[in-house]
Structure 1
Amino acid sequence: MNQASDDEPFFQPGRNCASVRHAARFSLLIDGADYFRVLREAITRAERTVFILGWDIDSRMKLTPEGADDGFPEALGDFLHAVANHKRRLRIYILAWDFAMLYAFEREWLPVYKMGWRTSRRIAFQMDGKHPMGGSQHQKLVVIDDRLAFVGGLDLTRSRWDTTAHAPDEPLRRDANGTRYQPFHDVHTMFDGAAAREIGLLARERWARACGKQLAIRAHRANLEHDAWPPSRRVDLEDVEIAISLTEPGYLGREPVQQIRAQYLDAIARARHSIYIENQYFTSGTIGAALAKSLGREDGPDLAIVVPRNQSGWLQEVTMGVLRARLHALLKDADTHGRYRLLCPSVPKLGDEIVNVHSKLMIVDDELLMVGSANLNNRSMVLDSECNIAIDALGDARIRRAIATMRDTLLAEHLGCDIADIDRERAAHGGMNAAIQALLRERDEHRTLVPLDPLVSRELDQLIPTEALIDPETPIAADELVDQFVPAEKTRPLIGRFALLGVLALMVVVVAGLLHWTSLGDYVNLRSLTNATRRIDALPLAPLWIVLAYVVAAVISVPITLLIAATGLVFGAAWGGLYAFLGTMAAAAVSYSLGNWLGRDVVRRVAGARVNRLSERVAKRGIVAVVVLRLLPVAPFSIVNLVAGASHIRMRDFMIGTMLGMGPGIFLTVAFAHQLVASLHRPTIGSFAVLIGIGAALIGVSLLLQRFLGGAQPDAHEGAPGDADKPRASEEAKRASELHESGAMPRDPAARNARPDEVNS
């Protein structure tokens, strides 16, 4: 990938940004209390249009749990409805990701979600499902009247509000159900002018893609009564050029856009003195390789990365946490000059809780500020839809001072000190990391930053696949997923069965593509499947036909979640759950057997002895592997079954893992959906008590799964390895050597995460 040279402008539209536009005013909003308060104030001043785009949006969250004196309701949905009804000319457009079922119980339940947004004709709500397999709508932006824009890392959803104090006993840090959540740190931006208008155009384009409707309203052309800027919020920087950068995957004929990755790589190559990063995830091999190269330079910059101590949730901890530990090891090896620090915030009296760092920010040399929705993982570089903004000081002392103040404000928040302390220590010790080191304090008594050295057990490292599967660099295609499990070499395959396997895989891909990209998906939906299920129920031997229908539908890649939901709606919680469970297990067994019959001999003859040894090693933890694979939304149900059948995983382990990974979710999803519909039709204390009981059961299943998989997790996440760790390190090195020899892992750690055409770029 070509990088900007020293004699060229840093921002190059079409390569490392989409456009560069002027803003009269700019502010960095630190933490939810700051952002949500000024956003609410700005929305009450809106006159024509409000666009809200997010990964998740929850109508029940409160922008200002501390209270507001604007006369409107507190909950976001009620607030937006009241504002829209109060202003006759105002239209509000809400675009949220059409999320995978994996996240269903982390978000507002879908029927309530849609009912909450569709009670006003002045509010339009759309779920965005126009993404390739594995991708998501991850942009987090709001634009008001095309004159004021908010871009950053904060969604308008639950468990995001917090103050800069991140106090362990903060009484207002509770979700819509009154449940406490851990401290949450993030950053957002607010700006106006032509840059805000550009965000308005982006929001309209995304809306048109999602629902196929163009919007004619152009608020910036209207004669508006008020200045859009919230009067209560100071301006951090005036008269500045803002670059807007995007990530968009190739989809439906559109070329991929990877401006954010190009900009990150250009910024790292440009750094001379310091790189300060805050990010939720840190797993991108491409970015890691660039940082490693920077650390290896004799005149390279200090590198400080602030991340959460643990990834939120056990599933992320055993997937993205493992990838982070691998990348951290790469940077430690490259840090020959002692300039690398991986840090996490520590607040007294938090106990086992953490400060959940959710920011997506990079500041380079007091010269360059980058903020947005993009994590430092592969998804944000190439797969998810992202939006970042950036400011280049271009040597302007005024802008350099403002950027330095923003960075020092963040450091002062984490270190529990004043900005003046950071400025003093940096001048005294000659660098950013030296200043941080001088200001570190006893973690149990004072707020501070803590050095982080994430480690993972050998068993967990073996279990979790490479970055390409969990954190992919491209949309996940069925044939590529098969290659992850079944590498092929040039030998004498069984031509007939290999061809049949290819035809079957092609059929699944074609059906999945037709469901996703054509009008066929309009017919294969919850309503049509429910009607079909009712017709089957009227036939003799209905249960047998239902199980058979599951087998046929699942094998040709009809979404399993729709099948489960349709069964629950027709047969209720008890029989619906039983039919869904039996149908799912039967479909899994049949498609596993197809993969076994078509692919087992092919695997043994084609893959070779070394790859078979690796496959056998994974098979020793087959049940856990299948459970994790069932919980990760990496591929369609049928593809996972076929791949498992063509691997060394025994059918017994496969079926047990499938039951553990899917069984609880099947019964509880059917029960919850059925009871929710019943409660909405006949609301009683008893019906809602059942809903509460099912919710408690979901929490219990989550804890059981966490305990089940917890044996593979490390006992500690912090501290340097001691002598006791050296034998294990030797075993790790031996295992890595075997992987290198087998061809399953490149010798260059950075190449593990790169496509073939990027390894030498």
Structure 2
Amino acid sequence: MSEPNPTQPELLDSPSSDTEAAAPIAPNGAVMDTASTCEWILRAHRASVLIDAASYYSVLRDMIPRARHTIFILGWDIDSRIELVPGGANDGLPPRLSEFLCAVLDANPQLRIHLLGWDFAMLYAFEREWLPSYKPAWHARRRLSFRLDGRHPLGASHHQKIVVIDDSLAFTGGIDLTGSRWDTPEHRPADPLRKNLGKTSYGPMHDAQLMFDGAAAAAIAHLARERWRRSRASHKAGRPFIEKPAARTDLWPSGIEPDFTDVDLGISLTESAYDGRPAIQQVKALHLSAVAAARRNIYVENQYFTANSVGAALQKRIAEENGPDLAMVCPYRQNGWLQEATMGVLRARLHKLLKAADHAGRYAMYAPVVDAPNGKFVNVHSKMMIVDERLLVIGSANLNNRSMVLDSECCIVIDARGDPQRQQAIARIRNRLLAEHLASSETEVAQALARHGRLNAAIASLKAGSDSVRTLEPLTPQVPPELRDIAEGVHVLDPEAPIAANELIAQFLPEPTHRPVIVKLLVLGALALGVVALTVAWRFTPFGHELSFAKLASETQRLAATHFGPLAVVAMYVAAALLSVPVTLLIAVTGFVFGAVAGAAYALTGTLIAAAAGWAAGAWLGRDAVRELAGARLNQLSERLRSKGLMAVILLRLVPVAPFSIVNLAAGASHVRFRDFMAGTAIGMAPGVVLATSFARQLVAAVTHPTPLSLMLVGVIGVALVSMSLVLRRMLTRRE
């Protein structure tokens, strides 16, 4: 890491860089250098930047069927269910990725396809396709091979996003073949095609990928082969590997004019030291060299902005008397609480340090917005840096410490080296990106830059002359109030790595445990196996159908008819809570069987006893064990519970942001006072219990014996539920 300037605020140290060798900057002002910044410098006949996943996916859909020998697909995530062209490609091939690849294999008996994804941690299981290695889709053809790559140091991830066809056409950048990536450059706020499986919508997404051929593409194929070989403990494992075919020159989409022709590409990597291989930190050296080479303007698009070494270099440059302008285009906010607690906190701190160093108004951070009045922002996922009209850097690396020293990354750099045509191409790409964000044209962007010379002045002039709801909104990232107390203790962590969550929670919940480790592991293992077994049974066996409302109601009625019926029903709550059966379902069943008054009493008693049992289990297991069960949710719940006590419990019961049983365990593990926990549970659960039991009884009555009174009661309860929801939403909005 660069030494901090004693006249400037000191940047955070990266925990990763403490154990890695410092990355050297390329000598003598050179940016592409095989001794420091690049693994290879090789020629591409053609190269083009594909902006946004709709363009990239469309080209892939067109080029993959033209493969003759091999296709490699490497990614942080690969989802067999995505459609490369939502709405239909009209090419006669199946829409889903796995079925599409199988159809391509059927049409070409000589072709082999290799897919390599990151062997992710369970922290991301609910964000990804379940058990991808065992999906029948990836084993439908003998010549289709899918693997998960776990050959990394603890905490590292495979983060490269690569596709290479016949060793002749390569794609690398920020786009994985997975969900929530597809979008068009228009980024329409409510695009009907921007949906995942289950028809769930996601917000606008901006990204980019570089396509190129020639010797540079062959080098990417070599990289893909090496990663494939390393993904197994023994290189001899699996099927025999097919050696690379002869390079082809006909693999280029006919409808795309290349941005560059006959250009040298620098291929830059990050790899951790592992299995006897030394660490590679070329990506870090590349970005430091690019910043050092800047004269007037640095344009950056990146998902994260927390890298200390790059931040220190930028801090130094913008403080210079004739330093360059820096325009950072980032997401408005980081997705999810965990990312906000790590990347969001550290981005805010780095932004503050850069603003303190900026004495001439040369630095600005922006967030793209497509509907300014309604706050509809674009999620920036691209990883790009453009320096003047000289350098273009594009790849998989985020501007965080993990991408500099730990995760596997691949970036491409193009240096114009004074060539006018290459300079114009780099300028056009930058202008195209700015035009997309500012609802302008490339010509207007070029004219604004020609008038002002400086990047941020040009952006300001384009914004001033436009009344579009689509623009670049100035961004001043703030640390959320609930995170201010912990901001000083946060390490730089990448949410795409499993160890990040563990280290974060361990730092926030450092309390040691005094229970025997063996006993805790046995309990934790038994609980984990039980949860897995119940989940599998619920999803894949008839057992799940047995827990329908009708079945539970029937069994509860049978219990109610016995002498110990009410006691048995209350006890059922404890067992059900420990087994993670939805407590709302039990409350509704109780109301249906026993009626509104008695049902509410039994349901509230049962939930309080179940909550007490969960609190006791969490207190006995301790935070470490509960953390393994609750994952990232525990830290969020613990912070709320520990800081607010009774009111936090009431709010969590009124607005259940986590399952009933998880809240119970988290409260016990966080040592929330038992009386506060029980009082908060009673106060928070009582309105919902009364409404749910009344609603269940009256709903059944209204359906089976409709009368004006029964229908009116159902209507009143429905209005009460909606009103409560609106009031709570307003309360939470004001709090935020």
TM-score, with length taken from structure 1: 0.67
Q: 1:564 aligns with which of 531, 537, 562?
A: 531
Structure 1 counterpart of 2:86, from 65, 74, 95: 65
CA-based RMSD of the aligned residues comes to 4.2
Q: Letter of the aligned partner of 1:221 in structure 2? A: A
Residue in structure 1 matched with residue 578 of structure 2 by the alignment? 578
Distance in 2 (alpha carbons) for counterparts of 1:711 and 1:620: 17
**Amino acid across the alignment from 1:42:** M
Residue 328 of structure 2 corresponds to which residue in structure 1? 305
Structure 1 residue 78 corresponds to structure 2 residue 99: yes
| Greater shift in the superposed pair: 145-154 or 278-287 | 278-287
Q: 2:455 aligns with which of 429, 432, 437?
A: 432
Counterpart CA distance in 2 for 1:618 and 1:432 is 46
Match of 1:43 in 2: 64
Alpha-carbon displacement from aligned partner over 1:340-396 (angstroms, at most 9, x marks no partner): 010111223783432111110001121111101111122222222211111111222
Q: Structure 2, unaligned stretches of length 5 or more?
A: 1-21, 548-574, 582-609, 626-637, 682-724
Task: Return closer, same or farther for 1:31/1:481 CA change in 2, 3 Å cut-off.
Answer: closer
- When residues 566 and 42 of structure 1 are mapped into structure 2, their CA distance, relative to the original with a 3 A threshold, is same
Cα deviations by residue, 1:78-137 (Å, 9 ceiling, x for unpaired): 111100111000000111112222322222232697222111111101112223333221
Sort the Cα spacing of 1:2 and 1:150 in 2 relative to 1 into closer, same or farther, 3 A.
closer
Deviates more, 1:162-171 or 1:361-370: 162-171
Aligned equivalents of 1:419 and 1:137: distance in 2?
36
Tell me which moved more, 96-105 or 48-57: 96-105
Which of 454, 460, 472 aligns to 2:477? It is 454
Q: In structure 2, the residue corresponding to 1:220 is in which secondary structure? A: coil
Structure 1 position 457, deviation (Å): 3.9
Whole-Å separation in 2 of the counterparts to 1:480 and 1:161: 32
Distance 1:147 1:560 in 2: 50
Write the distance in 1 (CA, Å) between the matches of 2:171 and 2:373.
31
* One-letter amino acid matched to 1:156: L
CA distances 1:713-746 after superposition (whole Å, capped 9, x unpaired): 985xxxxxxxxxxxxxxxxxxxxxxxxxxxxxxx
1:553 equivalent in structure 2: 522
SS state of the match for residue 308, structure 1? coil
Q: Tell me which residue corresponds to 2:319.
A: 296
Which residues in structure 2 correspond to 1:496-575 (within 5 Å)? 551-553=520-522, 564-566=531-533, 568-569=535-536
Question: How big is the shift at 1:460?
Answer: 2.0
Say if 2:242 is the partner of 1:217: yes
After superposition, the Cα gap between the structure-2 partners of 1:127 and 1:443, relative to the gap in structure 1 and judged at 3 Å, is: farther
* Structure 2 residue aligned with 1:495: none
One-letter amino acid of the structure 1 residue matched with residue 75 of structure 2: G
Code of the residue aligned with 1:363 in structure 2: it is I
Aligned position for 2:559: none
Which structure: larger Rg? 2
Equivalence for 1:197: 218
1:186-226 Cα offsets, whole Å, 9 max, x none, are: 1100001111111111111111121344663233337x6x7
Aligned equivalent of 2:172: 151
Deviation string 1:302-329 (CA, Å, 9 cap, x unpaired) is 0001112122334433442222222211
2:60 corresponds to 1:91? no
CA distance in 1, matches of 2:195, 2:436: 22
Partner of 2:343: 320
1:662-689 CA-to-partner distances (Å, cap 9, x unmatched) read xxxxxxxxxxxxxxxxxxxxxxxxxxxx
Write out per-residue CA displacement over residues 251-306 of structure 1, whole angstroms, 9 at most, x where no aligned residue.
33433222111211121122111110001111222222221111111111000011
> What does residue 228 of structure 2 align with?
207
Contact 1:273 1:300 in 2 (8 A): yes
AA at the equivalent of 1:183: P
The aligned runs of 1:205-604 (5 Å cut-off) are: 205-211=226-232, 212-213=234-235, 216-221=241-246, 227-348=250-371, 351-441=374-464, 445-464=468-487, 466-468=489-491, 470-471=493-494, 484=507, 551-553=520-522, 564-566=531-533, 568-569=535-536, 578=578, 589-590=619-620, 592=622
**Alignment CA distance shift 1:255-1:589 (3 Å):** farther
Question: Residue 21 and residue 246 in structure 1: after superposition, are their counterparts in 2 closer, same or farther (change >3 A)?
Answer: same
**Is the Cα contact below 8 Å between 2:619 and 2:671 reproduced in 1?**
no
State the one-letter code of the partner of 2:245: H
The answer for unaligned runs of 5 or more in structure 1 is 489-497, 509-547, 596-614, 661-703, 716-761
Displacement of 1:479 in angstroms is 12
2:29–2:289: 8 Å Cα contact kept in structure 1?
Answer: no
Aligned equivalent of 1:166 = 187
- For residue 580 of structure 1, report the CA deviation from its aligned partner: 7.9
What secondary structure, in the 3-state scheme, does the structure 2 residue paired with 1:239 have?
strand
> CA 1:193–1:41 in 2, change beyond 3 Å: closer, same or farther?
same
Tell me what 1:141 maps to: 162
In structure 2, what is the Cα distance between the partners aligned to 1:472 and 1:181?
19
Q: CA deviation at 1:397?
A: 1.7
Query: Do 2:49 and 2:209's aligned partners in 1 also have CA atoms closer than 8 Å?
Result: yes
Distance 1:273 1:103 in 2: 41
* Partners of 1:159 and 1:478 in 2: CA distance: 22
C-alpha separation in 2, matches of 1:79 and 1:272: 47
**Alignment-mate amino acid for residue 99 of structure 1:** F
Tell me the distance in 2 between the aligned counterparts of 1:99 and 1:210: 13
- Mapped partners of 1:253, 1:586: distance in 2: 47
- The 1-side partners of 2:155 and 2:432 are apart by 36
| Structure 1 pair 86–188 and aligned structure 2 pair: CA distance change class (3 A) | same
Structure-1 separation of matches of 2:502 and 2:335 = 31
The alignment's TM-score, normalised by the length of structure 2, stands at 0.69
Distance 1:326 1:113, change over 3 A: farther
Deviation sequence 1:521-564 (CA, Å, 0-9, x none): xxxxxxxxxxxxxxxxxxxxxxxxxxx6xx33367xx6975663
